[in-house]
Structures are given as structure tokens and as C-alpha cells.
Structure 1
Amino acid sequence: MGLKELLLLQFIAHLCLDYFFQTGKLAKQKNSAGFKSPFLYWHALVCFALSWLFSLQLNFVLAATIIASTHFLIDGFKRFLINNKTLGRYAFFIDQAVHLLVILVVVILFNKWYGIDPNFNIQINFKYLLIMTAYLICLKPANIFIKEVFLATEIQVTSDNEMPNAGKVIGVLERLLTLTLIIVSQYSAVGFLIAAKSILRYGNNETLKTEYVLIGTMLSFGIAVIAGILINLF
């Protein structure tokens, strides 16, 4: 295992922590209460455990502690960022960028000072690890990212005729299919999938709804396409 594999493993640990191991309700409670949130402390503890576990080496304990401590501080102060009139709408993106920057710096410094020497003799293929990361991103993280893009750009369309969570399920399915098709180099099939999605139409009196769906569709396909291209580069 080398530096790039360790970085990907730590990124997967972050994905699991912030997207799969916390619900939207708990995230909102943590963001609104800050350091007063009981969940924040549990969240930091899980962060430490996942970071250490995914490092595959015992001497990563100090690095995992640093990652968890900074994660705790960043999430604790996030409520002040959310309440900021200028930067509040971009709080999600700033928060995630800082988390990833911390992981990048800590892993690079760990490699420089201690070196990467896993305690478990496991052969890790970087491309397969990258594929797994891409599929994880195409699930819940991509849905949240698209939602935050709409919030940041103040795009809101309401409709009483929509099935709850149907859009999320459709988005996940189209991203998984698109990513799979790109990995196996079936680019023409991706075009067919996009064309099939374009069949969705709204009446002339729902122009805003059509634009809303178009933006969401382009973001959804864009995430899967970029992920697939990055995988194929390796």
C-alpha cells in the first residue's frame, strides 16, 4: 500500500462518516447546536475509529487523533459559518473542502515522517479502490451535493405531485448505470441513457420545474461521468 491508496482509504472513511453514518436529522441538529450537540462528540469518536481502522496500521493512531480533533472543531464552528450572511449558503462546500484538506495534509506528513507500513498484509489494487470510491460517491454523497448546489444557488421548486424521495432514487440509479457504462467503455449507451431521461417533460406552465429537473439531471450525470473518466485514466 502506498500514499495514494492510504489517501483513498481515508477519503472512504470520511465518506462513511459524513454521509452514511449520520442521518440528515442528526446532521441538522449538529449544525444548529455546534459544540452543545451530544452527537458531535460521538461523531468525532467515530471519525477517530474509522480513520485509524482504514489506515490498516497501528502507528496511525496520532494521525487519526489529529483528523478526528480537527473534524470535531470544524463541525463545532460550522454553525457560525452557516449563520454568516455572506458565506452561509456555501457552508457545506467550505466544510467539506477543509475536512479533505486536513486529511490530505495529515496523510502526506504521516508518510513523510513515519512511512506507510501496514500491519496487515493486504494487497490493495488502486483502481479497484478508486472504483469502489466512485460508486460510494454516486450514492448518498451525490444526492446531498446536488441538494446543496440548489440551496447555494437559491433554486427552489415545489410540487405537491412529486413522490417523496423518488428523485433521489432515480438520481442514484442513473448515476450507477452511467458510471458502470463508462467503466466498461460503453459511451454510446450513456448517450442513450441521457436521451431516455430527456423524455421527461412538463407542461408549458411548468417551465421552472423543467429547468429544475434539467439542472439536477446535468449535475447527476456530470458526477458519474467525471468519476468514470477519472477511473479510466488509471
Structure 2
Amino acid sequence: MNASDFSLLIKLLMAHMVSDYFLQFGSWVSDKGKKGIRSPKLYWHILITFLTAWLFSGHFLAALFIGFTHYLIDLGKIYIKYNRFVLFIADQTLHTLILVLTWLFLIDGWHTFFENTVSLFQNPKTWLFCFAYGLITFPMSVVIEIFVYRWRSEITEKKQESLKQAGQWIGILERILVLTFILMGQYSAMGFLIATKAILRFKDTEIKQMEYVLIGTLMSLTPTILLGILTDFLLRVL
């Protein structure tokens, strides 16, 4: 793969970003949701998708294919009644997959792509990355939940408003960032993240609440930091 081939992929992704985010307005999305296949805004959006893909890539037939598949995916998203977040992820994943497949067809890069993919998944470093990042998400959340459960009753005597599962997702994203910073050698950025969280979270005057948050934070960060150091060491020796 040369620089020109890679540039074409970036152009296709840029075209998608422009048509799906910059040139699609909230009123259009609302109109599509209400009128479905009869919405004129749906067809304006598909026309813009086609034109931007053609303008950025310079390939008419490829842009036509992208526009048609974009129409089918958007239509499916309109009529499938499911969790909004899941639908958004599925929608964008399918659009991106179509763009990558179109790109591979244009550059005739199927052989190289599959060869590199097989090589990637035969590399032990790939599996080490997958294991490390997988471990710090939901498995570690379960361990922390079990560990801090003994103190939960002491801080839930007073009813406190809290976003559903917000703490879990904050912890997962925090651990992903910490692990990434360690593997990149950006320890100062990791320190800034921890300090920022401390400022935001320790405004509560309740001692028990502060201690509970501190225990949860340390239970989250300590194994992540140790795992990051171990992963970084193994990556160097493999």
C-alpha cells in the first residue's frame, strides 16, 4: 500500500464525515424519523452523500455504490426500533465497513489486506493488547464492585441522585486512558488525569463518601497501572 492508496481511504472517510455530520441538520434527522421513506430530507441527504463521495474520491461508480448502500442502511435505521445508542454504533460501523470495502476494491488491495490481517492476528502482541484492554473493562468493573460492596450500605443510607451506571463507565474510560498513557510512556498525562478526577470528585464534605470514592478510585487505578507496566515490559521482550 502506498501513500496514494491510503490517501484515498482518508478522502472517503472525510466525505462521510462531511455528508453525515456537517451537511446533515437536526431538522433533517427529525424529518426522516417522522416520515421515513417518504421524507424528502432522506433523499437530499443521500444526494449529498453521493456528491461528496464523488467529489472527494473522483470515482463516480464508487460514489454511486456508497450513496445506494448509505440509503439502505439509513432506511433500516429509521424503521428498526431499538436502543438509540446501539443503532448509532451499528449505523456508523456499517457505513465505515462499506467505505473500507469500496476502498479495497478501488485499490485492488484484497490480497494485501487479508495477508496483513492474518499476520496481525498471528502476532502475540496483538493478543496481548486485546487481553490487557479487555481485562480493564467489564471484568475489572465486576472485581471492583465485589470489593467495595461491603461499604456501599454505609453510603446509601441517604438517598443520592446518580446517573445510571455512570460510575462504571467513568471507571472503564478512566482505565482505558491510564493504560494507553502508560503504553505510550505519557506518565505526565496520566498524572494530570488523576489530579483532574480528584478535583472533580472530592468536593463532597461527607467523609464516608470521600473514602468510598477514594477506595474505588485506587482499586481501579492500581491494577491498571500494574497491568500497564507488565504489558509494556512484555511488549518489549516479545
Q: TM-score, normalising length from structure 2? A: 0.48
More helix by share: 2
Using CA pairs below 8 Å that are at least 6 residues apart, which structure has the higher relative contact order? 1
Q: TM-score, normalised by structure 1?
A: 0.49
